Amino acid sequence: MSNLTQYLNEIKTELQELYDNLDYELRNTDNQDLIDDSYHNVTSKLESALSEMETLIHDIDNNVYDDPFGNDGMLEDEE
């Protein structure tokens, strides 16, 4: 696993913890307006971010993107 995918996995883990904590708190409230507002303003965005992060990690692991550093470790624009 590359350093980039390792770093992205760490971010994904933190996003998942935020999502789980929010879900736990919302399950323990009876305020339906709070639940609805939270879903539309936060929860759905966390779900989307987690999904997109998973796709990005998968794409990087499968070499979908060109390596901007080439073989010598320098950015191609720096040559």
pTM of the model: 0.73
The predicted structure's pLDDT at residue 52? 96
Give the residue, 54 or 74, on which the prediction is more confident.
54
| Band (69; pLDDT cuts 50, 70, 90) | low
The predicted structure's pLDDT at residue 33? 93
Distance of alpha carbon 78 from alpha carbon 32, whole angstroms: 55
Compute the mean pLDDT over every residue in the chain, rounded to the nearest whole number: 86
Q: Where are the alpha helices (DSSP H) in the chain?
A: 3-27, 32-38, 44-61
Which whole number is the average pLDDT over 34-44?
92
Distance of alpha carbon 22 from alpha carbon 16, whole angstroms: 10
